[in-house]
Amino acid sequence: MNLQSRTLESNLEPVKTKGSKWWQTGIRPDYRFSLANERTFLAWIRTSLAIVAGAIGIDQFASHLGSAQLRLVLSIALLVVGGTLGGVAYTRWARAERAMRQETDLPLSLLLPFLALFTAVLAVGLAAIIIIFG
Amino acid sequence: MQDKAPRDPGLQPERTGLAWSRTGLLAFLAATLSVRVGLTVTDLAHLLTALLLAGLGAASLRRGHQRARYTANEEVVTAASRAYIFATSAIVVIACMSHVALLLARYMRTH
């Protein structure tokens, strides 16, 4: 299948009607690109849900870890990051979809370096807690 | 070729459908964990959060089923996708916020 021709073929929507929402303006992107964008969104949601599961895991299944305050702080930190990822997943999807409709460059997302940094800090922190509290 | 609803050789609809299903199963896992929190502290709000997450799980599995049967003749309409994607994102954010509130409330009660 020729990517270029499909994109042109599907260019049936009216271009930028004034006052309409962003998801009604511009061209209709190649459906494969839209589906790929949707899968990326879902991957972020799964990451977020896994972090939430980790937070509940610390709260429910790690009663010997550190102190009650420490477990509370860890759980809430995980929940805040999980919730942020879940919310930002939507804005990331919307920005990418909008860029595809307006045929501009895909936006840069700082989500990935942020998640990498958070995971590294969390892993080191947990290791320290386990070593200190035994 | 067009009238026979050609299948995508890259299997994009199937992959997207499976991504929804995986997300749905993980939402069920999160719901189950919330039920456990609700049972140990007998908090109705936790069980409501669990119900919300279970609803997300069921909706995601359904959406996965729809997506997997998608054919290249149809258009992916951003507005329709957006409704599902926004709802998914919102439920995850609400579930996180309610868990934070409930953990804090429980800590205040016990300390």
Q: Which residues of B touch A93 (CB under 8 A)?
A: 85
For helices B12-41 and B44-68, give the axis angle rounded to 10 degrees: 170
Q: In sequence order, which residues have a C-beta less than 8 Å from that of residue A115 and are 6 or more positions away?
A: A47, A85
Closest by CA to B84, choosing from B12, B23, B25, B35, is B23
Which pLDDT tens digit goes with each residue over A47-63? 999 999 999 999 888 88
pLDDT tier, B45 (very low <50, low <70, confident <90, very high otherwise): confident
User: Is the complex ipTM more than 0.95?
Assistant: no
The structure's pTM equals 0.85
**Angle (deg, nearest 10), helices B12-41 and B78-110:** 20
Q: Is it the case that residue B41 has pLDDT exceeding 70?
A: no
pLDDT at A17 > cutoff 70? no
- Residue A128 CA to chain centroid, in angstroms? 28
Nearest to B8 among A28, A32, A56 (CB): A32
Q: Nearest Cβ partner of A50 from B26, B90, B104?
A: B26
Amino acid B72: pLDDT: 61
**Residue A73: in which H helix or E strand, if any?**
helix A68-102
Closest residue in B to A24 (Cα) is B79
- pLDDT: which is higher, B75 or B48: B48
User: CA quadruple A123, A126, A131, A134: dihedral positive or negative?
Assistant: negative
Q: For residue B5, what pLDDT is reported?
A: 58
The CB density around residue A110, as the number of other CB atoms within 10 Å, is: 9
Which of B77, B90, B96 shows the shortest C-beta gap to A79? B96
CB pair distance less than 8 Å for A31 and B34: no
